[in-house]
Amino acid sequence: MDANGDDRISVSEFKKAAKSLGQDVTTAEVKAMFSEVDDNGDGYLNYKEFEAMMVDRMEAAAMEDKYLQEMFSQMDLDKNGRVSYKEIAKTLGISKEEAKELIKEADTSGDGKINFEGTIYAFSSLIWEVRSVRSPL
């Protein structure tokens, strides 16, 4: 990632590296990420600062994953690996019609049930909120 070999990562170096991984981030986003871990405040990440950032992000991702798995298994009342609109209505305390509406787009098979990926899709706006609270990007 350290393209010019000066032992520190600049915002533009980070942006380039992220882009090569298929992640398009803006300069402002990278700066915000840097500012959280830039201990000596020089606007660059040295190895120690970079490592701290990666550990932070991995922990956040692991927590998020665990949270999603938990959410899914809590909603999957009969533990059959699928969440039906009835289960959603029950666990969220909403009407069956509302639950149907909620999973409509994610329910590609149209049987009123969604799997783990479908659940993430259906609750993506909710998950997005969780994500931005836990790991602001």
The 3-state DSSP class for residue 76 equals coil
The 3-state DSSP class for residue 26 equals coil
76 vs 107 by CB, closer to Ca ion: 76
7 vs 133 by CB, closer to Ca ion: 7
From the list 35, 40, 74, 124, which residue makes contact with Ca ion (rule: CB under 5 A)? 40
From the list 25, 29, 38, 120, which residue makes contact with Ca ion (rule: CB under 5 A)? 38
104 vs 134 by CB, closer to Ca ion: 104
Closest CA to 85 of 68, 98, 72, 71: 98
Rounded to an integer, what distance in angstroms lies between the CA atom of residue 137 and that of residue 135? 6
Rounded to an integer, what distance in angstroms lies between the CA atom of residue 134 and that of residue 114? 26
35 vs 124 by CB, closer to Ca ion: 35
Residue in the block written with tokens 């590296």: 17
Residue 63 Cβ vs Ca ion, minimum distance, rounded to whole Å = 25
56 vs 131 by CB, closer to Ca ion: 56
Work out whether 76 is an interface residue with Ca ion (CB under 5 A): yes
Residue 86's identity, in one-letter code, is K
Q: Where are the beta strands (DSSP E) in 5-131?
A: 83-84, 113-114
Rounded to an integer, what distance in angstroms lies between the CA atom of residue 24 and that of residue 116? 26
From the list 78, 101, 105, 129, which residue makes contact with Ca ion (rule: CB under 5 A)? 78
From the list 36, 42, 98, 129, which residue makes contact with Ca ion (rule: CB under 5 A)? 42
Site residues, Ca ion (CB under 5 A): 2, 4, 6, 38, 40, 42, 44, 76, 78, 80, 82
